[in-house]
Chain A
């Protein structure tokens, strides 16, 4: 019995699919949800969301939001943002991470609590995005570019 799964952000429905399991980062650590999970409501923090269908795994970078597991293997994630690994712009994520890090370091004393929290969130979000983007690189090395090279030789 597969899980009826949805990721929804304020901008769009990112994913709506039947899946076998998912692993998501919650406030207290990662949890994996399998079919027939007991109803649950949890907070999601910035991180990597893994969606498994059979042997395949897909990776998403999510930032903030919540997950609801409903009875009858229905899972809904409402995230502030969610991007598939292949949609992530590595350069921009890297630049955003650096900018956040720098302003945190340079203006440590001048920042208000709110600004600091916002910067911290940006930093965490982009670290998560970079981590997820790396997944894509690995995947490519294993299945894409690598095998193509062999084929050419």
Chain B
């Protein structure tokens, strides 16, 4: 039938696209559930760890641990950028990248600083290369759930660099998982430890002030260390740092899969709408053709 072929072809191609987006939606829905429960389950741990870091950083003389000391001499900022490997996640990566750009711009406005990037995930690396940022290391991000062991190289690198005094500040930038439909780009300063507020549960440290005797005040107490401060801090602080990096990666994973699920759901719905419209158009053309043919036949009979 003339005119209908074009429409039919489009319907066919859109339905196959729809099948693909539907399949991707299912896959990311499964991954999303896993990633979300992992991120939520370990939030309590990393947040508690960060609270300990904050408490300690207020109590301990920075001379006891190099993790707490600010390298005033260094004007370099290190940013660990956690993004996804693949696209089709809506504004997941671009939001984070622009947040990082504005963070860099703000830091540069305040003082003269150099920024160096450590990337986890391909998209962030590509975006940073495009604008010509210095990337000192890139880590592969696996597409399955991260395990604690996998982040050890990252934490070892930043700990070494920080302890050598190469960086004044190290932050981790990632998408914080709020809910399936909402994720927020976050830049969390992890070194020197305990300077910024915990990001995962937003527990305010003021909460601890409750049921304390008056004279305690917020940080007006001394810690006892078992066995001794140096040993405890040398063990404790790297672990706290690892828990922060690990949690950031889990959050990013949960956000990525949620974002992808939502994007694919939208795409599937859009495809359905399009197919409906096209089918209507197809039927109209078909009906018009039939009417036309009928009219021709009737006209032909009249002529005979």
Contact = CB atoms under 8 A, between A and B. Distances in A.
Interface in B192-246: 208, 210-213, 216, 221-227, 231-232, 235-236, 239, 243, 246
Contact of B52 (A11, A28, A41, A71): A41
Interface in A1-56: 6, 8-13, 26-28, 31, 38-43
B245 to A, nearest CB: 12
Contacts of A66: 52, 232, 235-236, 239
Nearest to B239: A66
A74 B55 CA distance: 13
Contact of B226 (A10, A13, A43, A74): A43
Contact of B232 (A9, A42, A78): A42
Interface in B14-46: 41-42, 44-46
Contact of B208 (A9, A13, A74): A74
Summarize A's interface: helix, strand, loop or mixed.
strand
Summarize B's interface: helix, strand, loop or mixed.
helix
A21 to B, nearest CB: 17
Interface of A: 6, 8-13, 26-28, 31, 38-43, 66, 68, 70-72, 74, 76, 78
22 contacts: A9-B45, A10-B42, A10-B46, A10-B246, A12-B41, A39-B223, A40-B224, A40-B225, A40-B226, A41-B224, A42-B226, A42-B232, A43-B236, A66-B232, A66-B235, A70-B55, A71-B208, A72-B208, A76-B48, A76-B52, A78-B45, A78-B52
